[in-house]
Structure 1
């Protein structure tokens, strides 16, 4: 995909807003909850629904096989992986359940997770612990401590699995995945990552981190449709057991004339872990356009843009008493402490000003993406001044 170079502003921010259907007076800082579809992705989705009106217009190969392979190839770039290493899944929970099914634990083993970790990345491991006799070890962070150091302190001889993300979804504190991976490997422990809150906006490379499994839902930072996501399975696990026994993840499934020549062998690589109906004819065209956009711009540029916006916000809101005080906060993910007297839910009055963010406990979570501009920052600051007085 070739993108026309956008114009750069004096503040080293790039204007990608025209790629999205965002009203000029709307400041949307909530990609961590739901990312807006790019215009081209929405158009691709609309076209896919129109195609369903007359399904004879496309060949079986195009809709069932070419489309998911194109999505797989684009998604693989964000992982630093090969297309063969990627499975198409509907949710992070599906990918985590796949990982759990293919990891061997025994009584007394420890599964290390973060305190307050996203529920899907907790319930999966509670179920596995109950099934195997392993134990959950929940890592808490001291006020001035980084999540990385808290994790490293917890990994020990009983650690059999570390499950985390590249940052904490509530406070945005970053996790040094390379350091955690080395510590886990030193104990012979597996590493399973949920990168829903970072893939596509923070550089990542499976060759450097060497995880066992990595999953990411696509509807947030990857700007894709809901119920789309991607699972990386390390080559050492690609002979594992899928959650489903569906027809399309079997070898030679492209030959419709021989579908009832039942076979026990799977398609190559991580395709055995694909969800049933993985060729989702209505969602994948939109997902593909979103992936094309991210890869066309490049993760390094996206990370730079998000960091520039976050820096503007931190500097602008500090005089109002909002402070980015989480150690090693991820550059695209602000969790701001609030001044005394702030509303219990600051996100609600912000919405009245057409400024959109999230409240997580006593903190305001601001998650900017490539569509945010310096004007959005001004709208945020103006609204905060009006609310806080």
Structure 2
């Protein structure tokens, strides 16, 4: 069954056109309620059982594992940010001298600096695959960049600014041929674009929680494959040690970590407020299918996309871009400052990223929102 508009689940004003979930998502009403309940519980800490440090975390990991199609929730770690997850991954990777780390052009900073540092550590080389004129050619260039010298490739499922989809299945196949690692940043895709760990089989995947997962700022998740099963975390916190659920026994220090990815979770990952909010969010997400979210976003945007293309804007072809997030490259004659001011007056919220207006939408948006956006852009093109 196709999805219909879900604005009733949100508390968004009628006069606001919010097309910027890629920066920060609004909360469902149920998420807000879960957070408020948790805040009130903190006022009575003596009523919070010690099991609440662990059981809700397990519940959340199981939900996220289901979302990304992972059998064992113990392969999921709670992280505070993508940069923390990538730092943990890089901390446990060894490279050969002069090997290559493949990145794409204009990758998000958190997914660049960590690999630049790792390259210096092992005297390896960064290999940046330049953006091509369309997604088809860009994907071909990425595949051609992977060779016998490749140590790892790190990229998102889509480009964070323009929505170009990268063929992770083909990239995974090529990396296996050369025994190279595949590290994925799912922050702009998990929850809104179909993704399966079973299908892609990445070595690791990180994902921010405050975008398409509708969680609070400061929470995220990481999947760790078998390459990282016996690695070392970047911090030593008590909750990640074997048997830490027994609080009376904590000073009988334990040298062993909990199994698999549990060793990599950040300290204080049992945050009572964050965990309850994210449980509410992913519970709702699992009621929808990512493919249906894509279909809905395509339906409400297709008319505007066609109008903007005819007016001289550049937008990636449908086949090679996501429908929930895409970039609009304006004609050079457009006064961007004037356009930004007009969008602000009309209460239309988007992001300007590099050469693109980044548009990101969800089930609370309607075709009318895009008609309003398109009218503003066309008015500046016609001036």
What TM-score bracket applies, with the shorter chain setting the length? over 0.9
Residues 211-248 of structure 1: CA distance to partner in whole angstroms, max 9, x if unpaired? 11100001111111101100000134222111111000
Contact 1:310 1:368 in 2 (8 A): no
Q: Secondary structure at the match of 1:160?
A: strand
Contact 1:78 1:200 in 2 (8 A): yes
Give the TM-score, by structure 2 length: 0.94
1:194 aligns with 2:185: yes
Contact 1:347 1:356 in 2 (8 A): no
TM superposition shift of 1:340: 4.4
Task: Give distance in 2, aligned partners of 1:322 and 1:141.
Answer: 18
Q: Which of the residues 132, 143, 157 maps onto 1:142?
A: 132
**Aligned residue in 2 for 1:154:** 145
**Aligned residue in 1 for 2:359:** 366
Write out aligned runs for 1:328-343 (5 A). 328-343=320-335
Q: Secondary structure at the match of 1:156?
A: coil
Contact 1:347 1:357 in 2 (8 A): no
CA RMSD across the alignment? 1.8
Contact 1:100 1:124 in 2 (8 A): yes
Say which is worse superposed, 303-312 or 153-162, in terms of deviation.
303-312
Residues 333-375 of structure 1: CA distance to partner in whole angstroms, max 9, x if unpaired? 2211213432224344212101111112232111111211122
1:83 aligns with 2:73: yes
Q: Which of the residues 289, 302, 305 maps onto 2:280?
A: 289
Write out aligned runs for 1:22-61 (5 A). 22-61=12-51
1:67 aligns with 2:56: yes
**Aligned residue in 2 for 1:8:** none
Write out aligned runs for 1:345-364 (5 A). 345=337, 346-364=339-357
1:17 aligns with 2:43: no
Q: Which of the residues 93, 103, 116 maps onto 2:106?
A: 116
Say which is worse superposed, 87-96 or 363-372, in terms of deviation.
363-372
TM superposition shift of 1:304: 2.1
TM superposition shift of 1:155: 0.7
Q: Which of the residues 180, 188, 197 maps onto 1:206?
A: 197
Give the unaligned 5+ runs of structure 1: 6-11
Shift of the 340–140 alpha-carbon distance from structure 1 to 2, 3 Å rule, reads: closer
Q: Secondary structure at the match of 1:226?
A: coil
Contact 1:218 1:230 in 2 (8 A): yes
Contact 2:101 2:124 in 1 (8 A): yes
Contact 1:84 1:270 in 2 (8 A): yes
1:185 aligns with 2:176: yes
Say which is worse superposed, 170-179 or 368-377, in terms of deviation.
368-377
Shift of the 218–147 alpha-carbon distance from structure 1 to 2, 3 Å rule, reads: farther
Give the unaligned 5+ runs of structure 2: none
Give the TM-score, by structure 1 length: 0.93
Aligned pair count reads 378
Task: Give distance in 1, aligned partners of 2:340 and 2:114.
Answer: 30
TM superposition shift of 1:386: 4.4
Shift of the 277–125 alpha-carbon distance from structure 1 to 2, 3 Å rule, reads: same
Say which is worse superposed, 297-306 or 317-326, in terms of deviation.
317-326
TM superposition shift of 1:84: 1.2
**Aligned residue in 2 for 1:9:** none
Shift of the 332–384 alpha-carbon distance from structure 1 to 2, 3 Å rule, reads: same
Shift of the 292–316 alpha-carbon distance from structure 1 to 2, 3 Å rule, reads: farther
Contact 2:77 2:262 in 1 (8 A): yes
Task: Give distance in 1, aligned partners of 2:196 and 2:266.
Answer: 24
Contact 1:310 1:334 in 2 (8 A): no
Shift of the 320–57 alpha-carbon distance from structure 1 to 2, 3 Å rule, reads: farther
Write out aligned runs for 1:240-319 (5 A). 240-319=231-310
Q: Secondary structure at the match of 2:120?
A: helix
Task: Give distance in 1, aligned partners of 2:212 and 2:349.
Answer: 16
